[in-house]
Structure 1
Amino acid sequence: MPSISPQITNLAIILGMMQVSKRIPFEDPQVLMGVRALYIVSNLIIFGLYYYISMKIKSKRELTTLKYVEPAQMGSGEDPKLVTTTIQEYDSQQVAAQYKQQLMGVAMMGFMHIYLKYTNPLVIQSIIPLKSAFESNLVKVHIFGKPAVGELKRPWKASGGMMGMGGNTGPVTDKASIEAAERAGRGGAKEE
């Protein structure tokens, strides 16, 4: 049975929750406080999850070397860069990126709710980020204990564009690309 794409389920949740949020009486202060509490609890769960993962990463001390070629950002005109790191450092960087992404989402939601007085997005933003956190490769590997093979083999591909519609982009790991980057002298210094 083919699995349903996370982007499709996110879209279905968003459309469904938009209909549900139209029926929520946000003008009632108790309902509004309940929705705010739901949003805060959702974010606390996500931050707690990432904190727990960062502790697991540090305790595992996976010092296996990981080499890959990081593609240049679109339109930058730069060459792809060779990255040599460890699995522990790579996973730590991924957790830091997730923290940053979550904080940006909270800041944007705070602006929309506090300054623009939007309340409907609180409901959707209580569910989608939590769902996305539990679908992340970090959670699959470090919480659910899935082996880092196949799609979970590091370095992980990043989904591109809004809601992942831009296709998968990410580091190149084939031996020829790594050797070409080493010969070209693009990066390669191991971060200590």
Structure 2
Amino acid sequence: MNNPAIQNLVISLGVMQLARKIPFEDPNVLLYVRIGYAGVQVVVLALYYYISMRIKSQNDQTVLKYCLELTVGAVVEPPNPMTQEEGKLVTTTVRDYDLGEVSKLLRSVYMGVAMMAFLHGYMKYTQPLFVQAIMGFKGLFDAVPVKVHILGHKAEGDLKRPWKAAGGMFGGAGAPQTDNAAITEAEKRVGGSNKKED
């Protein structure tokens, strides 16, 4: 049960069963659920913005690399399995990488709020408000930037940068390749493509 997608599914199903027992037709109950949902979204957004401010204030300009002994480091992003393209070489700093990851989390919150506005505001569904309020808090505890920048976990082991993308229901999310052989091969490809363009 270590797969976050399966955990989210199990928790969602459990919360939906609990939501069936809530009398959403009562205007007072519905008001509290709306306030709860909005409150969770405000807390989540505020925490992500706070993490962004912390990352900017720390201004960690360390080059993202596989081995600490290296003076220049890089990450090879996994290729898209649906295309024939090869992975591209990415060199960045810890600051920029972390800000990019927090930006992805913020976008997912905005998308969730937009979807909920449609489902509740237009389609008049009420149970998803309750479910998404609970899942919003669970998402905070699953977010790696929260673990590293708020909970104080060291960026090592499973939390070592670059962070693995959350897998789907059956896994399969490709992890960036950070070994020296993959980086050297990607650098050769980049060097070769630059020579072709000259």
- Calculate the TM-score normalised by the size of structure 1: 0.88
Of 155, 166, 172 in structure 1, the residue corresponding to residue 171 of structure 2 is 166
Q: Could you tell me which residue of structure 2 aligns to residue 54 of structure 1?
A: 52
Of 9, 12, 17 in structure 1, the residue corresponding to residue 15 of structure 2 is 17
Measure how far apart 1:133 and its partner are. 1.5
Cα-to-partner distance string for 1:135-192 (whole Å, 9 max, x where unaligned): 211011100111111111100000133xx43344221100000010000017xxxxxx
Tell me which amino acid in the other structure corresponds to 2:108.
Q
Cα-to-partner distance string for 1:67-99 (whole Å, 9 max, x where unaligned): 100112231322210000000000000010000
Please show how residues 140-179 of structure 1 align to structure 2 within 5 Å.
140-161=147-168, 164-179=169-184
Contact kept in structure 2, 1:43 and 1:126, CA below 8 Å: yes
What is the DSSP-based 3-state SS (H/G/I as helix, E as strand, rest coil) of the residue aligned with 1:129?
A: helix
Tell me which amino acid in the other structure corresponds to 2:34.
R
Cα-to-partner distance string for 1:51-78 (whole Å, 9 max, x where unaligned): 1100110111111111100112231322
Question: Structure 1 CA distance, aligned partners of 2:2 and 2:86?
Answer: 36
Contact kept in structure 2, 1:155 and 1:171, CA below 8 Å: yes
Confirm or deny that 1:132 pairs with 2:148.
no
Q: Could you tell me which residue of structure 1 aligns to residue 28 of structure 2?
A: 30
Of 165, 185, 191 in structure 2, the residue corresponding to residue 180 of structure 1 is 185
Q: Could you tell me which residue of structure 1 aligns to residue 124 of structure 2?
A: 117
Residues 5/76 of structure 1: CA separation in 2 closer, same or farther (3 Å cut): closer
Question: Structure 2 CA distance, aligned partners of 1:93 and 1:6?
Answer: 21
What is the DSSP-based 3-state SS (H/G/I as helix, E as strand, rest coil) of the residue aligned with 2:92?
A: strand
Measure how far apart 1:5 and its partner are. 4.7
Confirm or deny that 1:83 pairs with 2:83.
no
Q: Percent identity?
A: 49
Contact kept in structure 2, 1:26 and 1:119, CA below 8 Å: yes
Question: Structure 2 CA distance, aligned partners of 1:135 and 1:127?
Answer: 13
Contact kept in structure 2, 1:61 and 1:88, CA below 8 Å: yes
Q: Which structure's CA Rg is the greater one?
A: 2
Tell me which amino acid in the other structure corresponds to 1:56.
R
User: Which stretch of structure 1 is more off in the superposition, 140-149 or 167-176?
Assistant: 167-176
Confirm or deny that 1:68 pairs with 2:99.
no
Question: Structure 1 CA distance, aligned partners of 2:188 and 2:91?
Answer: 14
Q: What count of residue pairs does the alignment treat as equivalent?
A: 183
What is the DSSP-based 3-state SS (H/G/I as helix, E as strand, rest coil) of the residue aligned with 2:79?
A: coil
Confirm or deny that 1:94 pairs with 2:101.
yes
Tell me which amino acid in the other structure corresponds to 1:84.
T
Mind listing any 5+ residue stretches in structure 2 that lack a counterpart? 65-73, 192-198
